Amino acid sequence: MTSADQFLAAYDRQLRTDAETQGALAVERLGPLLMCTFAGGRGFVTYRNLDGAGSRAIARWVLEALAHFRRDPSVVRVEWKTRGHDHAPGLHDALLRSGFEPEEEESIMIGRAASLISAVPLPPGVTLRKVAAEADVRAMSAMQDEVFGGQVSDENAEALLRRVACGDGMELWVAEHQGLIVSAGRLEPVPGTDFAGIWGGATREEWRSQGIYRAVTAARAQSAVKLGKKFIHSDSTRYSRPILERYGFLRVSTTTPYRWRR
């Protein structure tokens, strides 16, 4: 696969629906939708496509999906993940009417894992490692919360720790300087596919533009190749997209998460 169209077809075929429900506590179907409940009070809605539905059917599905999660008091937040290449008439307005709020649009980037592997020089005193100990995971999660502009959340840390405990294949990589985590990201191999995802990439502002994020990405890509994965996919912000493009990654579509909170 070398073209954006080929990558997008593989993305739709291999990385939507079943691949996104790994680790869910419960999955219910509503038409083409999969409504997933994850630990930590998180609901998630995904689908391969909307089967050519019109705006009335889509509006009904939004109402019914939200009602499904409202009935479960343990669910305190829901993400509806949209993709820019989907035919989804009226979806944006239907989500807004139901109280979902859109976040920043991100680029769906795909490329060969091997292309990201390179020897990246690090600033003096900065080292890389894979972490799994509770203290490290909590420190990594707190740094990401701060970089992404939110408050430090025990909930986010607990979700990562549960995944570490269950051994679902996720890897957590950090860059440190004198014991302080300055950059981090996850690697998520997708079972039964040619893909691994790189997620949660974050670097403290004062440590950016020094090659540190590129080094964390290269370490994750090298691990993915060792696991037999050919391709990497990522939902990239305007900061990380140029880095991936320099390594030949292609922007195949966009994604915008819409979030509802109880």
Beta strands in 65-169, from DSSP E residues, in sequence order: 77-83, 101-102, 106-112, 126-131
Share of the chain above pLDDT 90, in %: 81
111-254 classified as CATH 3.40.605.10:
no
The pLDDT mean for the chain works out to 94
Give the pLDDT mean for 153-159: 86
Could you read off the pLDDT of 69-78 as tens digits, one per residue? 999 999 999 9
> What Rg value do the Cα atoms of the chain yield, rounded?
18
**In the predicted structure, residue 150 carries a pLDDT above the cut 80:** no
Of 188, 197, 175, nearest to 249 by C-alpha is 197
Phi-psi region of 25 (alpha: psi -120 to 50; beta: other; left: phi over 0): alpha
Q: Which residue has the tokens 């009070």?
A: 41
Could you read off the pLDDT of 2-54 as tens digits, one per residue? 689 999 999 999 999 888 888 789 999 999 999 999 988 999 999 999 999 99
Could you read off the pLDDT of 108-127 as tens digits, one per residue? 999 999 999 999 999 999 99
Could you read off the pLDDT of 204-226 as tens digits, one per residue? 999 999 999 999 999 999 999 99
Q: What residue segments make up the domains of the chain, in order of their start? A: 15-108, 111-254
Angle at 261 between CA 55 and CA 153, to 5 degrees: 140
DSSP assignment letter at 9: H
Predicted TM-score (pTM) of this structure: 0.87
